[in-house]
Amino acid sequence: MKKIILAGILTFATLVSSCSQVSFASKEPVVLMAKTENRKDYQFVIPANFVLDEANSMIYDSSKYYRAYLIYKGQGNIIDLVDFFDKNMAKLGWQKESSLISKEAILAYSKEDKLVVIRIEYGLTETVIRILLTAK
């Protein structure tokens, strides 16, 4: 009986650890329509099919500074999202500073004294876009 329980626990632990490395987010092509977001002095784009996760986003808004860490969730392929941001951020006057692309992507854009850093990654059931609004 102890061997059966131990085998069950080991099987469950193996299943849980392997599932934590698997993403069920859709990697299928999705039509990405640009939606402009206005946050104080920051104007940037987000795909219209992505929704702000207000519970996990953070905003610091004082009379002098506005900083934010915004989390959006939706469906989209990482490479398509990189192309989406490159094209649409440039239309709003943002200059691409850098990018790192692998299993996830990190993009940085600047305009005047502002910096927008975007991290795109697959979550368990959706694609997650994390956006940091800060200063240079």
Whole-angstrom distance, CA of residue 71 vs CA of residue 50: 9
Residues 130 and 118 sit within 8 Å (Cβ to Cβ): yes
Domain positions in the chain are 23-135
Whole-angstrom distance, CA of residue 46 vs CA of residue 50: 7
Whether this prediction's pTM lies above 0.75 is answered by: yes
Q: What is the pLDDT along the chain (136 residues), one digit of tens a residue?
A: 544 544 444 444 444 444 444 455 555 667 899 999 999 889 999 999 999 999 999 999 988 889 999 999 999 999 999 999 999 999 999 999 999 999 999 999 999 999 999 999 999 999 999 999 999 8
Whole-angstrom distance, CA of residue 83 vs CA of residue 78: 9
Which pair of structure tokens corresponds to residue 99?
């990018």
